[in-house]
Amino acid sequence: MTYGSKPGTRCNANNHVTAVKPFECTSRKGVEYAMNQEWKFKLHSVYGQILFDRKLTQSFEQVKANKGAGGIDGDTIESYEVKLEENIMELLNKLRTKTYQAKPVRRVYIPKKNGKKRPLGIPTIEDRIVQQSVVNILQPKFEDNLFHNWSVGYRPNRGVQRALQIILWNIEQGYNHIYDCDIKGFFDNIPHKKLIEILKKYVSDRTVLGLIEQWLKAGHMEEGKLIHSDYGTPQGGVISPLLANVYLNELDWEWDLNGIRIRKVCR
């Protein structure tokens, strides 16, 4: 099996992925702390860090690079960009006056390999910009201080190559049983209440917590009907992968505490 060389990947002369020893895990005391304790210094004043037109513009460029269709308001990346400066300043004013309101996502379905369909929730361009701005602040902090080193799903500079490195290294150490599993409908079944409780351990900024709750509670439009739920973070939302990792993070550390060597290397 061959893969191109990317950051965090070690390849031999034939461009094959080779086993690399994972980062050392923390001590048992450190694992227990990560699982059960709140951060000594919570993230605060996060909201103020996104209230700059240049940061919102940067977030738009990231949204644009990721492509994708528009949401329920009919705006596309192309139409939003026509009056980009005006739209960004209008969005900035909404955020500063705290009149910004998340809109429901547009529900679409894409085919899966097994013949079934996967539901996606497409937020509006404006909502994606704000979500990206929050991700830009939270993700580096969570990467450095919260997430387990052996978790690779939806994380920067990680992925299939990193997962293969971890698997190969553990096989070389004599661990040769691999358990492959999937959480059925994971994104659609994350309980909002529990997710917010977990986030409160690490984020004390009530305005940002309120934004995240807005995105979770906004619901989705399907066949002209607005549907609300107390569960799920839509696949298609910019912030959804980060929220998914926050929700499963304690499971990573629980497995580590119990000495499981091969853990969720790919979600």
Q: Is the pLDDT of residue 257 over 80?
A: no
pLDDT at 99: 98
- Element spanning 243, H or E: helix 240-257
Name the H helices within 146-239: 160-172, 192-199, 206-217
pLDDT at 1: 26
CB neighbours of residue 132 within 10 Å: 21
Percent of the chain with pLDDT over 90: 53
Q: Is the pLDDT of residue 8 over 50?
A: no
Q: Which residue has the higher pLDDT, 7 or 147?
A: 147
Confirm if 166 and 150 have CB atoms less than 8 A apart: yes
Token pair, residue 160, equals 């299939």
Instruction: Say what the pTM is.
Output: 0.83
- For the chain, the domains span 46-258
Model confidence at 11, pLDDT cuts 50, 70, 90, reads very low
pLDDT at 58: 98
pLDDT tens for each residue of 78-94: 999 999 999 999 999 99
Over range 178-201, report the average pLDDT.
Answer: 89
pLDDT at 171: 83
Contacts of 256 (CB under 8 A, 6+ apart): 25, 31, 148, 150, 263
pLDDT tens for each residue of 129-159: 999 999 999 999 998 888 888 788 888 888 7
Across the chain, mean pLDDT equals 83
**β-pairing verdict for 220-222 and 105-111:** parallel
**181: exposed, middle or buried (Cβ count in 10 Å: 0-12, 13-18, 19+):** exposed
pLDDT tens for each residue of 22-69: 554 445 555 555 555 555 557 778 999 999 999 999 999 999 999 999
Model confidence at 117, pLDDT cuts 50, 70, 90, reads confident
What burial letters (b/e) apply to 190-203, b meaning 16+ CB within 10 Å?
Answer: bebeebbeebeebb
